[in-house]
Chains A and B, each alone.
Chain A
Amino acid sequence: MKKRSLTLVERMTIAIPFTWLATFLALPLVSVAALSIHVVADSIPPVAPLFSVSQGHLALHASMRSFQMVFEDPLYFAAFRNALANAALTATGCLLIGFPIAFAIARSPAGRRNLYVLLAILPFWTSFLLRAYAWMGLIRDSGPINALLLTLGIISKPVAILYSPTAVLLVMIYSYLPFFVLPMYAVLEKLPADLLAAASDLGARPAYVFRTVTLPLSMPGIVSGAILVFVPAVGEYVIPELVGNNSTMLIGGILWDEFFQNRDWPLAAAIAVVTFGLLMLPALLLRRRFGQLATVAG
């Protein structure tokens, strides 16, 4: 096919959103990177200008102090470690709960699959704050889950689930579950049925078929789903704030506090830059599958 030049309309369909994204998305990220080397000052905004002119000389006020703090203070290291561990556990939980759901939907009669998918997305459309709030009621000491466990005789006195790391993990798995189920379903639905049928016709037991055929073919879905849960989960702030306790600090909460409580903008910016750098790698793995995102979005 001969290469033709783009029409004006084609140029505009790209130029308009590109300009918007460059201005309101790329530029903010650049300003955070720039802010991370600023020096704190007692002013509004609470940073000193990067350059100043005094007596005809241009002076540069830049400092690596924020990055030094992030890398040297064990508090931040622990917060990064906790956040990464919490996100990894969330992704694992979503895999363990989400895979059977996605698999069962994909194996349902064709006429019912769309309804099931809709049912799996619907909670995602309601306010996630309210769902977190509902969990606060469900897992509190006098809530129905403790009542059920007491009635069944599994526990003899209420367990404190609310305001614990367990509660954070539970509510995070719950909130991020649709992000895993949808890409997983998109892959499982396209799994060729004849391949599975052939394997069992040739005498393979269900467990063997699953391990040697189903699982390898589902890997793309597992990987996209896990990344789609893991990356945003690393920076989660709201859920740990609502149902966690203060002893396990995560990096999202640290950034929030440095910004809102300590008003240390450069330090918050350095934390943001490091978090962003940490998350670039898994995100790049998925960048090439832009179209797949649509299955997640709706």
Chain B
Amino acid sequence: MNDLQQRPWQTVALVLGFAFLYTPILWIIYFSFSGDLPGGGGSQFSLHWYRALLANTELGDAAYRSLVLALLSSAIAAPLGTLAGIGLAQVERFPGRSIMIALLAIPIFAPEILLGFSFLMLFASAQALTGWSQGKGMLTLVIAHATLGAPIVASVVFARVSGRDRSLEDAARDLGARPLRVLATVTVPLAFPGILSGWLLAMTLSFDDVVTSSFLAGPENTTLPMAIFSGLRVGLDPQINAVGTLMVVGVAAIVGISFAAMRLGLLSSWLRKRPPDQM
């Protein structure tokens, strides 16, 4: 739709739309550097809330726990989702295919409160029957977050693999490569940009999760979103602005890196004179 003229209302829609999306984020950043409570009057630049945050070991511990949880759960979600995405894209029919698609769709659609509650019920039943999962708060959190993340990775990888012709795999096979080698040296590398963006998405979703974690985590393994949530129920806490700004900076860095990786992927495929497949 290149040759269509830009109409004024389009610019208005974009400006208003992005203003709506970004005002709250700019608000958080602005007030994180102000000495006042949000909504207060005149303010001046201050690192007061960042200093308060540094001294707050409770939030620091929770942030560390959330980071570990995000890294571990996405490290499981990424290979699981990659296998599922590649399997669904390459094996067009197998018994249970529609069940598998439904299972992958559930975590993406279903309200999280239903999922969080269900995870706890599984672990509670397992505990009642076998005693396992007693006091395994962190392990159950990792399993649940990995289960929520894998379908995201699977859908991105699926879109990438199924939209591409399979001549490279055929060539590798004709040249004598074993199936595992074809998977490891052709299919997975070609799907890598999808795997990476799915991985990062699974990581941020885990880092952001409050509902599922609330069901599974005991008081001894409170995550950062849980700590923020319980703080917000009581009222406004300006330290949260500082946390928010740090998180925005972190996310911007992750997105920047993945965007650069995507560009590099495009570049290298162009250097190899391969048409870049759909992004």
Q: Is B174 an interface residue (CB 8 A)?
A: no
Pick the interface stretch among A57-65, A68-76, A106-114.
A106-114
Task: Flag if A127 contacts B208 (CB, 8 Å).
Answer: yes
A: contact size bracket: 35 or more
Task: Flag if B6 contacts A287 (CB, 8 Å).
Answer: no
Q: Is A89 an interface residue (CB 8 A)?
A: no
Collect the chain A residues with CB atoms within 8 Å of residue B98's CB.
287
Number of chain B residues whose Cβ lies closer than 8 Å to a Cβ of chain A:
105
Collect the chain B residues with CB atoms within 8 Å of residue A294's CB.
155-156, 158-160, 194
Task: Flag if B2 contacts A110 (CB, 8 Å).
Answer: yes
Collect the chain A residues with CB atoms within 8 Å of residue B102's CB.
287
Within 8 A of B (CB), among A61-113: 97, 100-101, 103-110
Q: Is B270 an interface residue (CB 8 A)?
A: no
* A298 CA / B258 CA spacing, docked (Å): 11
Collect the chain A residues with CB atoms within 8 Å of residue B20's CB.
97, 174, 177
Q: Is A161 an interface residue (CB 8 A)?
A: no
Which of B6, B22, B119, B255 is within 8 Å of A28, CB to CB? B119
- Considering the complex, give the chain A residue whose CB is closest to the CB of B18: A119
* A235 CA / B108 CA spacing, docked (Å): 13
Expressed in whole angstroms, the minimum distance between the Cβ of B63 and any Cβ of chain A is 11
Task: Flag if B110 contacts A123 (CB, 8 Å).
Answer: no
Collect the chain A residues with CB atoms within 8 Å of residue B90's CB.
10, 13
Collect the chain B residues with CB atoms within 8 Å of residue A29's CB.
106, 118
Q: Is A149 an interface residue (CB 8 A)?
A: no
Expressed in whole angstroms, the minimum distance between the Cβ of B100 and any Cβ of chain A is 6
Collect the chain A residues with CB atoms within 8 Å of residue B39's CB.
137, 140, 142-144
Collect the chain B residues with CB atoms within 8 Å of residue A25's CB.
103, 106-107, 147
Within 8 A of A (CB), among B100-152: 100-115, 117-119, 121-122, 124-125, 127-128, 143-144, 146-147, 150, 152
A1-41 Cβ-contact flags toward B at 8 Å (1 or 0) = 00000111110111011101110111111011011000000
A268-292 Cβ-contact flags toward B at 8 Å (1 or 0) = 1100100110010001001100110
- Considering the complex, give the chain A residue whose CB is closest to the CB of B157: A294
Collect the chain B residues with CB atoms within 8 Å of residue A120's CB.
17-18, 21
* A152 CA / B108 CA spacing, docked (Å): 43
Task: Flag if B114 contacts A275 (CB, 8 Å).
Answer: yes
Task: Flag if B144 contacts A134 (CB, 8 Å).
Answer: no
Known contacts A13-B91, A21-B104; A106/B156 CB under 8 A: no
Task: Flag if A127 contacts B244 (CB, 8 Å).
Answer: yes
Q: Is A131 an interface residue (CB 8 A)?
A: yes
* A17 CA / B244 CA spacing, docked (Å): 35
Q: How many A-B residue pairs have CB under 8 A?
A: 299
Q: Is B154 an interface residue (CB 8 A)?
A: yes
B82-97 Cβ-contact flags toward A at 8 Å (1 or 0) = 0110111011001010
Task: Flag if B229 contacts A129 (CB, 8 Å).
Answer: yes
Task: Flag if A138 contacts B24 (CB, 8 Å).
Answer: yes
B17-44 Cβ-contact flags toward A at 8 Å (1 or 0) = 1101111110110010000001110000
Q: Is A228 an interface residue (CB 8 A)?
A: yes
Task: Flag if A101 contacts B118 (CB, 8 Å).
Answer: no
Collect the chain A residues with CB atoms within 8 Å of residue B24's CB.
123, 131, 134-135, 138, 174
Q: Across the A-B interface, give the 6 residue pairs with the lowest CB-CB distance, nearest first.
A: A235-B111, A294-B159, A134-B24, A13-B87, A28-B118, A17-B84
Spell out B's residues near A (CB within 8 Å).
1-4, 6-7, 9-11, 13-14, 17-18, 20-25, 27-28, 31, 38-40, 80-81, 83-84, 86-88, 90-91, 94, 96, 98, 100-115, 117-119, 121-122, 124-125, 127-128, 143-144, 146-147, 150, 152, 154-156, 158-160, 162, 179-180, 182-183, 194, 197-198, 201, 204, 207-208, 210-211, 215, 225, 228-229, 232-233, 236, 240, 243-244, 247-248, 251-252, 254-255, 259
Sampled A-B contacts (24; CB under 8 Å): A6-B91, A10-B90, A13-B86, A14-B87, A21-B104, A27-B122, A32-B117, A49-B128, A100-B13, A103-B13, A104-B14, A122-B251, A127-B207, A127-B208, A130-B228, A130-B240, A137-B27, A138-B27, A144-B39, A242-B233, A252-B111, A272-B114, A290-B104, A296-B155
Spell out A's residues near B (CB within 8 Å).
6-10, 12-14, 16-18, 20-22, 24-29, 31-32, 34-35, 45, 49, 97, 100-101, 103-110, 116, 118-120, 122-123, 125-138, 140, 142-144, 174, 177, 189, 191, 193, 196-197, 227-228, 231-238, 241-242, 252, 255-256, 259, 265, 268-269, 272, 275-276, 279, 283, 286-287, 290-291, 293-298
Given contacts A109-B2, A227-B109, A294-B160, 5 further A-B contacts (CB under 8 A): A21-B147, A123-B22, A129-B210, A237-B113, A255-B117
